[in-house]
Amino acid sequence: MITAGIDVGAKTIKVVLLDGGKILAKTSVLAGFETEQSVEEAYKEALAKAGIERSAVGKVGATGAGRKAVAFAQTVVTEVSADAQGAVFLHPSARTVIDVGAEEGRGIKTNADGKVVDFAVNEKCAAGAGAFTESMARALEVTLAQFGDISLKSNKSIPMNAQCTVFAESEVVSLIHSNTSKEDIARAVHDAIASRISAMVRRVGLEQDVILVGGVAYNIGFLDSIKRTLGIENVVVPQDPEYVGALGAAVVAGAAGN
């Protein structure tokens, strides 16, 4: 049976079409203001990419902060459950899932079936999430990709407040004024986010293998920081890490009874 998973995130909507163990298509569109319209657009694009009709999809699962916008979904699952299911589907030995999306960071402990054992999510503020890195990259006047690259050139540890995006931004401005290099500032930002995320991970209990998902997984500077902060060499980043939640929703939809 072909199943669809739709992850309605704060910034983007991701769709995965799954046929048994095989991913048929993945698409992503900006969430925009008209979420239901964007969901429809993303879904149609995925169907077209896979070359199948809507009627070929047996079950649709929705997840993400805006999951209620997927009116045609038969199953609805939280991001936490979707992440765990998607991560274990891709990497069966995954036991800790770190998801850093646009507005939320999560640490999830899962069992071999992809069932959530424990989880921690950042509270209210977006510090420790993707929007925070974007804001800091803007402050340094570099692209997000450059922001990750340049931080790897630094070997300095500069403590920074990662509790509040606004305060952190003013700290970055102070560092710029004190002639701290962009490389050192970029690393400080990544270390601060990693520190916050690893606190969540340790709260639920670090168990290997660790898999990093969500859009921030593309950021090699953050990846370096989270490895150092957790004190582990291997953090698995799957291909297209931002689609893991949508994939999990498709897996859950497939597992749901008829």
Partner 1 sequence: MATLTKYPTEPLKCWNKAKELRLKYYKDYAECKQRGGIRWSGGAWAMDAIPAGLGDDVYTLTSEPYAASVAFDPKLNAECQSAADAKGWSRDLCSYMRTYWGSMYVNKYAFGGEFPKPDFAFQTQICCSHHKWYQHVAEYKQIPYFTIDVSVGLYKDVDEGRIAYVVNQMQESIPWLEKVTGRKFDDEKFIAAVNNECRTTSLWAEVCTLNKAVPAPLEEKTMYALYVLATLSKHSKEFGDFYEELRDEVKDRIARGIAAVSTERCRLITDTQPPWSYLSMYRYMEKYGAVSVGSLYTFALEGVFADQPDGSWGPRPTPEQLGIKIRTREEALRIYADWNLSKPEWQHFYDPQIKTDIMLRMVKEFKLNGVILHLNRGCEGLSKGIMENRLGLVKAGVPVMTYEGNMGDEKEMDYPRTLSRIDSFMESLGFNKLEN
Could you tell me which stretch among 40-48, 113-121, 145-153, 182-190 binds partner 1 (CB under 8 A)?
A: 113-121
Check residue 120 for interaction with partner 1 (CB under 8 A). Answer: yes
CA 182/CA 207 separation, integer angstroms: 34
CB atoms within 10 A of CB 215: 23
Check residue 124 for interaction with partner 1 (CB under 8 A). Answer: yes
How many CA atoms within 13 Å lie on the side-chain side of 114? Answer: 23
Smallest distance from partner 1 to CB 43, Å: 22
AA letter at 191: D
Smallest distance from partner 1 to CB 146, Å: 32
Smallest distance from partner 1 to CB 48, Å: 31
Look up residue 97 and give its two tokens.
């899932």
b/e burial code for range 1-23 (CB count within 10 A of at least 16 → b): ebbbbbbbbbbbbbbbbbbeeeb
Would you say 57 or 200 has its CB closer to partner 1? 200
Q: Which of 140, 146, 224 is nearest to 181 (CA)?
A: 140
Would you say 156 or 203 has its CB closer to partner 1? 203
Check residue 81 for interaction with partner 1 (CB under 8 A). Answer: yes
24 alpha-carbon distance from chain centroid: 21
Check residue 199 for interaction with partner 1 (CB under 8 A). Answer: no
Smallest distance from partner 1 to CB 61, Å: 13
List strands edge to edge, sheet with 235-236: 116-121, 105-110, 96-100, 210-213, 235-236
Q: Binding residue for partner 1 (CB under 8 A) from 27, 78, 96, 229?
A: 78
Q: Convert residues 30-69 into a mask of x (bound to partner 1 by CB under 8 A) and - (unbound).
A: -----------------------------------x----
- Please spell the DSSP secondary structure of 11-72, one letter per residue: SEEEEEEEETTEEEEEEEEE--S-HHHHHHHHHHHHHHHHT--GGGEEEEEEESTTGGG-TT
Q: Binding residue for partner 1 (CB under 8 A) from 54, 118, 156, 157?
A: 118
Q: Binding residue for partner 1 (CB under 8 A) from 54, 115, 153, 156?
A: 115
Q: Binding residue for partner 1 (CB under 8 A) from 15, 46, 116, 216?
A: 116
Would you say 52 or 125 has its CB closer to partner 1? 125
**What's the angle, vertex CA 199, arms to CA 224 and CA 163, rounded to 5?**
90
Could you tell me which stretch among 31-39, 74-82, 219-227, 241-249 binds partner 1 (CB under 8 A)?
A: 74-82
Given the rule CB under 8 A, which residues bind partner 1?
65, 77-81, 115-121, 123-124, 203, 205
